[in-house]
Amino acid sequence: MEILGSIKTYDWGTRGSQSKVAQLASKNDENFAKEFNETTPYAELWMGDHVSGPSLIKSTGESISKLIASDNSSIGGATSLPFLFKVLSITKPLSIQVHPNKEQAEQLHATRPDLYKDPNHKPEITIALTDFLALCGFRTPAELYNQLKKYQALTNLIGADTIEELQKQPTSESIKVCYTKLMSSPQDAIVKCISDLSVIFNENKEDELLTNVFKHCNHYFPNDIGVLSIFFMNIIQMKPGQAIFLAANVPHAYLSGDCIECMACSDNVIRAGLTPKFKDVETLLEMLDFTGKTAEEKFFQSLPVGPYSELFKPPVKDFAVVQVKVPDTVQNYCIENRANGSIIIVLKGNASAAYLGRQLFELKEGSIVFVPACIKSVGLTFNHPDAEGFIAYQALYNDF
């Protein structure tokens, strides 16, 4: 059945018609199109049954949560969907953050439910729809050493002796000591360091990527400690179709661009910077994964599961994502479903959807479909108005 996603208008979102979220929603929801405002930041499109934004059945307006509660056979007998599926449109950096693992989430929720709202973990996968910038994981000890030694302002802040340990003992423990020193620095020292670096980056274009990211973060969050995390973490430049997987306790932040995101159903976040919100530094430093890797190692590879389908299969059971990309020379294709049902969103193209020979509805850009567990596959017949053919993403339980 066709469903409508829940729109979130967070401050960091892309405004008006430039937002991929707004573009998709306006083509699928008449009410959204009527209320659209060019100055509103359309940040996220949620697809699923999360209590903070459940999807609605397009034909009736009924919540998908109510449907599942009345007949959970639609998701294979589970009590709720194990994943939350999203489209994000980002202009302003999101906070640098980590998510606890399952055991940690249960403990945090039990002891501090005001901050940690549920007992579930929150691994995530992110697939770029446009050129996309992110921070993900710590740099290797060698890369971090070179970054901290290169800029005197950072050497002054962290300490030359502390930085030298990265070369003498190139381990995650040495990274931890350096990052702990950063996160424990007084605000006046942070302000001075950022000020000194600003002079350098305003004059020196030697590293264009680092310069642009520094200016981007400091523009939106001036003198925030998170601005300095860009020297500690990998800056990831993603092209459309490339992905990263964000496991528990891996620090990350989205900086700009549009993406597909799928995650376990949770809202647990421990913040480290680029935010006016509370930073739980003590918990953060206890839980962070300080393993250093290169930027290239952070990319998450897909697996072919059909002639025109690629599977992003993370090392968790909660979710997987299938990218369906059918060229305009193909007339028919079949999207397989799984035992717990799935959600599909169309990014490009037009198709007639059918099941067991019965026409269901027309799919177009922006269409979102909930496919109950009883349906084994959806047959598509294409009407390609676009040279890019048909592009869709499918979120489903990871029982591959």
Which positions are annotated as active-site residues?
A: 271
Beta carbons within 8 Å of 2's beta carbon, 6+ residues apart: 57, 58, 59, 361, 367, 368, 369, 370
SS3 130: coil
Q: Are strands 320-326 and 390-396 parallel, antiparallel or unpaired?
A: antiparallel
Sign of the CA dihedral running 40, 244, 163, 174: positive
By the 8 A CB rule, do 111 and 298 touch?
Answer: no
The β-bridge partners of 66 are none
DSSP string, 12-79: TBEEGGG-HHHHHHHTT-HHHHHH--TTSEE-EEEES--TTS--EETTT--BHHHHHHH-GGGGTT-S
Q: How many residues are recorded in the chain?
A: 400
With contact defined as beta carbons under 8 Å apart, do 10 and 44 qualify? yes
Q: Tokens for 342?
A: 């799935």
- Structure token pair of residue 253: 């932040």
Using CB atoms within 10 A of its CB, is residue 105 exposed (0-12), middle (13-18) or buried (19+)? buried
Question: What 8-state DSSP symbol labels residue 397?
Answer: -
Residue in 362, 367, 369, 363 with CA at minimum distance from that of residue 396: 369
* CB neighbour list of residue 270: distance below 8 Å, 6 or more residues apart: 97, 98, 99, 100, 280, 283, 284, 287
The label of the residue with tokens 């670096």 reads: 197
